[in-house]
Amino acid sequence: MVIKTAEKEDLQEILNLQYSAYQSEAVLVGDPNIQPLTQIYKEIEEEFSKG
């Protein structure tokens, strides 16, 4: 496994991974609208630009 700093080009893949990872959490809490599942690309891009 290689751990490296994320680049802007990685953001869509990170968002996809986040969505996959939080599916089971949404089931556990009974809410498909938890923040990690409703976050859009623009929001993750803004977070990335802030570091």
pLDDT of residue 48: 95
In-domain check, residue 3: no
3-state secondary structure (DSSP) of residue 1:
coil
Query: For the chain, what is the domain count?
Result: 1
Instruction: Give CA–CA dist 27/46, Å, rounded.
Output: 28
pLDDT of residue 10: 96
In-domain check, residue 14: yes
Give the predicted TM-score (pTM) of the model.
0.79
Structural domain harbouring 42: 8-49
In-domain check, residue 12: yes
In-domain check, residue 43: yes
pLDDT, one tens digit per residue, over 19-51 is 999 999 999 999 999 999 999 999 999 999 998
In-domain check, residue 1: no
In-domain check, residue 2: no
